[in-house]
Structure 1
Amino acid sequence: MSSSLFLLLSLLVPTLMLEFRYHDNREIEQYLVQVSADNPDITHLYSIGKSVKGQQLWVLALGLRPRRHAVGVPEFKYVANMHGNEVLGRVLLLQLIAELVRGYRDNETWSLQLLNSTRIHILPTMNPDGFDEADTNCLMSQGRANHNGVDLNRGFPDAFAGLRKQQELNEEQREAEVRAVIGWLRSETFVLSANLHGGAMVASYPYDNSDQGSGWMVSPSIAPDDDVFVHLAKVYSYNHASMHKGNLCDDSGPFQDGITNGYSWYKLEGGMQDYNYVWAQCLELTLELSCCKFPQPKELPALWMDNKKALLAYIQQVHLGVKGQVFDGWGMPVQNAVVEVEGRRNMCPFRTNQHGEYYRLLLPGNYTFKVSYPGHEVLTETLSVPYGPEQYSAMKHDFKLRRVASATVRVQAEPSPSCNYSLLPRGGAAAGSAWNGLTVGFSLVTVLQTVMD
């Protein structure tokens, strides 16, 4: 058998067992292509763009309908390797893909429930160029930045930086990897997310920045959904083998319960987690998963076992709270209706997507909702919200609006001064008609040929 034929067959034969080692970018690409080819009914491989050096930023979507959004099915994402020298997340997300697919094929209840109720997007490396340049030092920063020497976690628009600083960089001037993620957030109605880092052991939550000033170990910068963020962080830390202990690394912490408000740890301007929350209405955590940024390969099996339960439990939290659609006076779902929760004044009010959907992650309790849309009466309803993750579904509730005469049209909720609407996803939050279901512009056969060249 020729070597080229053997390679082709090896790519086509289902092989989900992964070695516990650091796979390079080409190997990750080959693996994602293989998984997608072997499991077309539950996986969909697509690219959100390219790095500075032209490497594809591959995402694998997993779910019962992996190719496109389905109304009522929340979108979840994991992102790893934003800093090129923080590498454990690459390994964990590849193992997570293998575990989800294996569980589904073996008809294991936990995997069936997750993939039948959720569309999960996994980006194993946001900074492939930085990984190529990284060394294996535990603490040093070689490879942290992208190929242009820019820290990608300082390159997003920042609600606390003021309109002048927000506008200093137009979108085209931002780093390629940042632009790709911003475009991605315009493509899907992401509800919950986490980005995986290294160098500490803690689950960090918004806000990372504040208008309080600068300094280390300052008071927290509290988000309107702080109770939900604290809950999400504890879900990860207490399902992790040891993160909840809070004092695992010599040079960081201690962190009570293994969690921290980002700003109370240190000030970070231009971070991805705050951008997700403010402008894409996606609640995101930053998960610091290893004291050493580049753990020894022999440690990887244990680190996977430390994180496996937490990674899966966190995905399940996408089913917190309430979801549904907003319908106008003619019974049609409407985009850009404002769905507010009393007592939670978000910088940018949460709005419905192009399907008229809204998703609000909330802990169990009673909440008063106010829904507004031009030409309609403001609708106020109080809902009793149960704990959805146990059932793999948030409470479903649709809002049906009533039209009013034009002379008495109510004004929609206005954003706070920190919300620059020019930075919102075009066409409303998570509008994505131009990006929705994005696929690379060539067939799987071409991809196979590309990775074999």
Structure 2
Amino acid sequence: MELGSLRFAFVFALLLWPSSAAARGGDRSPFSLPRRMDEDGGMISRHLLENLPQITDDMLSGYMSNFELEMAIKEFGQRCSNISRVYSIGKSVNSVPLWVIEISDKPGEDEAEPSFKFIGNVHGDEPVGRELLIHLANWLCDNYMKDSLAMTIVKNVHLHILPTMNPDGFALRRRGNANNVDLNRDFPDQFYPVNDMLELRQPETRAIMSWVKEQHFTASASLHGGALVANYPWDGSEDARKEYYACPDDRTFRYMASVYSHSHYNMSLSKEFEGGITNGALWYPIYGGMQDWNYIHGGCFELTLEISDVKWPKSTELPILWEYNRLSMLNLAASLVKTGIHGRILSSKGGHPLPASVKVEGIDYRVNATRTLGDYHRILAPMERYEVVASMPGFQSKSTRVFVEDEATSLDFVLVPEEENSQKLDKIISNYICRCDGKDKLVLVEFLTGTHFEIYLIFIIFIFFLYLLKRKTKFKFLKHRQLPTHKRHNVV
């Protein structure tokens, strides 16, 4: 057997080793890393809360049941319908709907704005997040015409809030879902392809994966309990050791984590974690986690936020926890439009939006623009100079250098088609613009071959005449809506 195979078999055996629950560790998930090597090569485990007490009826008192949470979400949707919509992304194992609140001045509409999502109650025995997220939604509804931070989020961000990812685990008073699977170990993992079998995903996991693919989120955070720290990728390391394992956007993630930590009442004062933030693999490695999958496969910069030292505190402590975390949650969401680079990518031929990619030199990661509007939103640590490149097959790439300050920079790209691919690009662009299905295409063919053919021919001649006139004038780029937080507007 080759050395690589032996190494994989050894690590996989470790993954199957039983262990106690931890704030980020699994109960009986085959994809957590319950044990790791210490500096001397010995096996150690991390137990944030050993010998957890049974969750009693008294502990449940003051927390919303799943039914009460659903009613609270629907009541919010009715009370704040002018800035929100409520929708479901799927159901749990026990068929409980996974309700989401979207908050925006134009909910449900495509805008050239970043999207942020909060997810609570990933682990059933960590209920603080589901309560705080309802507080967050209500606070934004009550204050968006009074508070500048609330106004910034509502008008310039599409905020999506999933209060509970694991309603079954909450009802069962345990960490895992109804199948006793730790949902934060259930995502495909970059280091262990054995965890990539889609058919084995839990329904809650599949719902999140589909949601991320559909919504094009810019950034995200999941709320957990059992510690007080902002955790960022990578969550695992290649050799399963406890070590700092940086992702390509390590500097940006440290900036995001610090935004949360330093806005918190006391997270940044942590004696265990410098500045109240930590790299996941340095804390202790896990595999199959949600935040790494978001970054790799969803183009979404996600943090894992441990917001309460106690997993299931008394409900009387919830108002205090809300006040401790309120400004952190708001500042993290608002940071999407307060820094970084934002813009649109259009074709010089007709000004059509392009789903091109944006890459920063020196960072092995790409952010894609949306298909509908061609807008992109690239989070970057401030006070740095970056070389930004926009590219798409069939077009000439463009690059420029920008200095990202404490305010956001607006940077648009107009890409010029490669001459030899001009005709092919016409067809490609038309595919992005036209969303007609097969039936609509048949109706169109019937229309063109019927009694309207003469009219259509005259129309084509007229359009061609306009095209000849247009070639004599210089193409003028249509300036997109600029966020009020943007400092300057650049077109490349």
Q: Give TM class, smaller chain.
A: 0.7 to 0.9
Find the counterpart in structure 1 of residue 312 from structure 2.
294
The Cα offsets for residues 187-240 of structure 1, whole Å up to 9 and x where unpaired, read as 2121111000001111000110221x113xx22111111111111111111111
Q: Give the alignment of 1:295-310 within 5 angstroms.
A: 295-310=313-328
What secondary structure, in the 3-state scheme, does the structure 2 residue paired with 1:183 have? helix
Q: CA 1:166 to 1:334, structure 2 compared with 1: closer, same or farther past 3 Å?
A: farther
Q: 1:22 aligns with which of 45, 50, 63?
A: 63
Q: Which amino acid aligns with 2:226?
A: G
Q: CA 1:52 to 1:202, structure 2 compared with 1: closer, same or farther past 3 Å?
A: same
Q: Does structure 2 conserve the Cα–Cα contact (< 8 Å) formed by 1:329 and 1:376?
A: no
Q: Give the alignment of 1:43-442 within 5 angstroms.
A: 43-71=84-112, 73-104=113-144, 107-134=146-173, 143-162=174-193, 165=194, 167=196, 169-170=197-198, 172-211=199-238, 213-215=239-241, 218-247=242-271, 254-319=272-337, 320-346=339-365, 349-355=366-372, 356-364=374-382, 365-388=384-407, 394-406=408-420
> Offset at 1:115?
0.8
Whichever of the two has the greater Rg, that structure is: 2
Q: Which amino acid aligns with 1:236?
A: Y
- TM-score normalised over the length of structure 1: 0.77
What secondary structure, in the 3-state scheme, does the structure 1 residue paired with 2:278 have? strand
The Cα offsets for residues 241-291 of structure 1, whole Å up to 9 and x where unpaired, read as 1111113xxxxxx11111100010111111100111111111111000111
- Distance, in Å, in 2 between the alignment partners of 1:353 and 1:387 is 25
The Cα offsets for residues 31-80 of structure 1, whole Å up to 9 and x where unpaired, read as 11111112211010000100010000000011101122312x11111000
Q: CA 1:433 to 1:86, structure 2 compared with 1: closer, same or farther past 3 Å?
A: farther
RMSD, aligned α-carbons: 2.3
> Offset at 1:335?
4.3
- Distance, in Å, in 2 between the alignment partners of 1:27 and 1:67 is 25
Q: Does structure 1 conserve the Cα–Cα contact (< 8 Å) formed by 2:347 and 2:354?
A: no
- Distance, in Å, in 2 between the alignment partners of 1:196 and 1:44 is 22
Q: Does structure 2 conserve the Cα–Cα contact (< 8 Å) formed by 1:325 and 1:333?
A: no
What secondary structure, in the 3-state scheme, does the structure 1 residue paired with 2:394 have? coil
> Offset at 1:385?
2.2
Q: Does structure 2 conserve the Cα–Cα contact (< 8 Å) formed by 1:36 and 1:43?
A: yes
Q: CA 1:335 to 1:158, structure 2 compared with 1: closer, same or farther past 3 Å?
A: farther
Q: Does structure 1 conserve the Cα–Cα contact (< 8 Å) formed by 2:84 and 2:102?
A: yes
> Aligned residues: percent identity?
37
Q: Does structure 2 conserve the Cα–Cα contact (< 8 Å) formed by 1:237 and 1:310?
A: yes
> Offset at 1:407?
8.0
Q: Which amino acid aligns with 1:189?
A: H
Q: Does structure 2 conserve the Cα–Cα contact (< 8 Å) formed by 1:80 and 1:89?
A: yes
- Distance, in Å, in 1 between the alignment partners of 2:151 and 2:421 is 52
Q: CA 1:155 to 1:335, structure 2 compared with 1: closer, same or farther past 3 Å?
A: farther
Q: Does structure 2 conserve the Cα–Cα contact (< 8 Å) formed by 1:331 and 1:400?
A: no
Q: Does structure 1 conserve the Cα–Cα contact (< 8 Å) formed by 2:223 and 2:305?
A: yes
The Cα offsets for residues 330-362 of structure 1, whole Å up to 9 and x where unpaired, read as 14444442211001002xx32222122211101
For structure 1, the residue ranges without an aligned partner over 5 or more in a row are 1-19, 135-142, 248-253, 389-393, 409-426, 435-453
> Offset at 1:378?
1.9
Q: Does structure 2 conserve the Cα–Cα contact (< 8 Å) formed by 1:187 and 1:433?
A: no
The Cα offsets for residues 58-114 of structure 1, whole Å up to 9 and x where unpaired, read as 00011101122312x111110000001011111111111111111125x33332222
Q: CA 1:95 to 1:377, structure 2 compared with 1: closer, same or farther past 3 Å?
A: same
For structure 2, the residue ranges without an aligned partner over 5 or more in a row are 1-60, 423-430, 438-492
Q: Which amino acid aligns with 2:240?
A: S
Q: CA 1:402 to 1:176, structure 2 compared with 1: closer, same or farther past 3 Å?
A: same
Q: Which amino acid aligns with 2:404?
A: V
Q: Does structure 2 conserve the Cα–Cα contact (< 8 Å) formed by 1:335 and 1:351?
A: no
Q: Which amino acid aligns with 1:352?
A: A
> Offset at 1:384?
2.4
The Cα offsets for residues 147-194 of structure 1, whole Å up to 9 and x where unpaired, read as 0111100111112224xx354x12x43100000001110121211110
- The number of equivalent residue pairs is 365
What secondary structure, in the 3-state scheme, does the structure 2 residue paired with 1:147 have? coil
